[in-house]
Amino acid sequence: MFSKSCEYGLRAVIFIAEQSTLQTKVGLKTIASAINSPEAFTAKILQILTRNNIVTSIKGPYGGFMIEEYRLKEITLSEIVQILDGDKIYTGCGLGLKQCDDKSPCPLHFKFIEIRNNLKKMLEENTLHDILFTDTEKNVFWLKT
């Protein structure tokens, strides 16, 4: 569904968000080890997310990554996916045709866009805050993998 970059990115952001609610800034090593991702590659992804104002980075000793409290209710999963994977997933044809619209639908079009739009809706409707506080178990259990 998502690229590896996007998967790591989402995991990293959720982890940083989690720690930010605890007023804790986290460094690259901590993040990579927590979400089980390659360190240098994760660094690249965090650079992109920093440039796009999803996370805030602080250089130097005692530096690290964090997300401002007020941003947690603004940032949606959709934005993160959009930044890392582009919007092919939101607008692209299921069969890979260049055009995808109701005027020139491929044989899968109407069935496919229903799924695609549900995905889009789900990602747009969920902010980081939602993800953190709708987690049924309310823990960091998922980090174990």
Partner DNA sequence: CTAATAAAGGATAAAAAGATCCTTTTATAT
Partner DNA sequence: ATATAAAAGGATCTTTTTATCCTTTATTAG
Residues in contact with ligand FES by CB under 6 A are 93-95, 97, 100, 105-106, 108-109, 112-113
CA distance 36 to 58: 22
Angle between helices 4-21 and 77-85 (to 10 degrees): 140
Give me the 53-92 binding string for DNA, x by CB under 7 A, dash otherwise. ----xxxxxxxxx---------------------------
CB-neighbour burial class of residue 48 (10 A; exposed 0-12, middle 13-18, buried 19+): middle
Question: Least distance to DNA from the beta carbon of 134, Å?
Answer: 27
Question: Least distance to a second copy from the beta carbon of 24, Å?
Answer: 18
CA distance 145 to 141: 9
Q: Using an 8 Å Cβ cutoff, are 85 and 3 in contact?
A: yes
| Residue 10 binds a second copy, judged by CB under 8 A | yes
Question: Least distance to a second copy from the beta carbon of 10, Å?
Answer: 6
Residues of the shown chain interacting with DNA in the complex, contacts defined by CB under 7 A: 3-5, 8, 26-29, 37-41, 43-44, 46-47, 50-51, 57-65
